[in-house]
């Protein structure tokens, strides 16, 4: 851990980090989250019978779009020329719900962790929006960075 927060200047004021001297490297980030829901809601999604349509396709597109707009949503993030964003879903019966995983890639001077985390967050919110008419008790948990590669700080793998 750095003893100093990189987004603060010497006066403690917020700033965008200067990455102009950093090398361009291949960077990847993987994030995950979980949407807990009633078993019946999961069945509706998996059978393609949700009232608002194809939940997973819509959530996938929403997550990809969100990753591309991260710099507009998170105040000190650099806009990045993403080379790939994927959003995938794994159903779970116990507990009932969907694991959401997003991968973001870039050839750049700064990492893509925020883009992967934003993709997961918005995909989870989209699942809720698409299914709230049948299950307002859905909840999100475990949104976190799972892995990141590239850059000066090296690789990270969550335990």
Distances in whole angstroms, Cα of residue 47 to Cα of each of 55, 81, 88, 158: 10, 36, 17, 33
**Degrees (nearest 5) of the Cα angle 100, 114, 57?**
35
Distances in whole angstroms, Cα of residue 52 to Cα of each of 37, 48, 57, 84, 134: 16, 10, 12, 28, 10
Q: Which residue has the tokens 């698409």?
A: 130
Quick check: 159 pLDDT over 90?
no
pLDDT tens-digit map of 48-73: 999 999 999 999 999 999 999 999 99
- The share of the chain scoring above pLDDT 70, in percent, equals 97
Question: Mean pLDDT for the chain?
Answer: 94
Of 13-22, 26-35, 80-89, the one with minimum mean pLDDT is 13-22
Quote the CA–CA distance of 132 and 141 in Å, as a whole number. 17
DSSP 111: -
Closest of 45, 41, 142 to residue 100, by C-alpha: 142
Average pLDDT over residues 14-34: 91
- Give catalytic residues, as residue numbers: 129
pLDDT tens-digit map of 81-129: 999 999 999 999 999 999 999 999 999 999 999 999 999 999 999 999 9
Quick check: 156 pLDDT over 60?
yes
Average pLDDT over residues 23-38: 96
Quote the CA–CA distance of 7 and 114 in Å, as a whole number. 14
């Amino acid at each position: 851990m750095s003893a100093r927060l990189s987004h603060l200047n010497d006066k403690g004021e917020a700033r965008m980090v200067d990455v102009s001297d950093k090398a361009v490297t291949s960077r990847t980030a993987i994030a995950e989250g979980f949407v807990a829901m009633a078993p019946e809601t999961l069945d509706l999604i998996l059978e393609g019978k949700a009232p608002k349509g194809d939940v997973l396709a819509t959530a996938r597109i929403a997550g990809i779009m969100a990753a591309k707009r991260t710099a507009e949503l998170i105040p000190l993030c650099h806009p990045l020329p993403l080379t790939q964003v994927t959003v995938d879903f794994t159903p779970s019966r116990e507990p009932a719900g969907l694991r959401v995983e997003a991968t973001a890639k870039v050839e750049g001077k700064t990492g893509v962790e925020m883009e992967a985390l934003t993709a997961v967050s918005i995909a989870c919110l989209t699942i809720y929006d698409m299914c709230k008419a049948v299950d307002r008790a859905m909840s999100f948990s475990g949104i976190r960075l799972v892995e990141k590669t590239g850059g000066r700080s090296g690789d990270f793998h969550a335990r």
